[in-house]
Amino acid sequence: MQAEQLRDQTVAILEDMKALDLNVIDVRGKTSITDFMIIASGTSDRHVKSIAEAVVFKSKQAGEAPIGTEGVTDGEWALVDLNGVVVHIMHPRVRDFYQLERLWRMDPEQAEKVLQESTQQ
């Protein structure tokens, strides 16, 4: 499946699961780990887990098994790596703290500077 098809399928799953504030970021040319980052919020630990589990299950059904998951059992922040698409599902407060959208929309030099500043604090 092409990355664009996988992105669209994943967005549809997130919408079906009532994920909030979906944001799709094209990171081609910024990183070699994936083509798209999808960031969404859930309303509770259970909602975050349910969304992540649905992405995993429905992706497997479509023949695109994830190459990895993180945080699905905890529920504050779940990550599903579908190779061409990396999905982050978070509580709004966690999302606000890490500001992944801001980081991935920056040019690489600016992102490196922000990262260095945050690790020095």
pLDDT of residue 55: 98
pLDDT digits (tens, 9 = 90+) for 39-95: 999 999 999 999 999 999 999 999 999 999 999 988 899 999 999 999 999 999 999
Residue ranges of alpha helices (H) inside the chain are: 3-16, 45-61, 92-98, 100-105, 108-120
Residue 14 and residue 52 in contact, taking contact as beta carbons nearer than 8 Å: no
Q: Which domain holds residue 36?
A: 3-119
How many independent structural domains does the chain possess? 1
CATH number of the domain enclosing 115 = 3.30.460.10
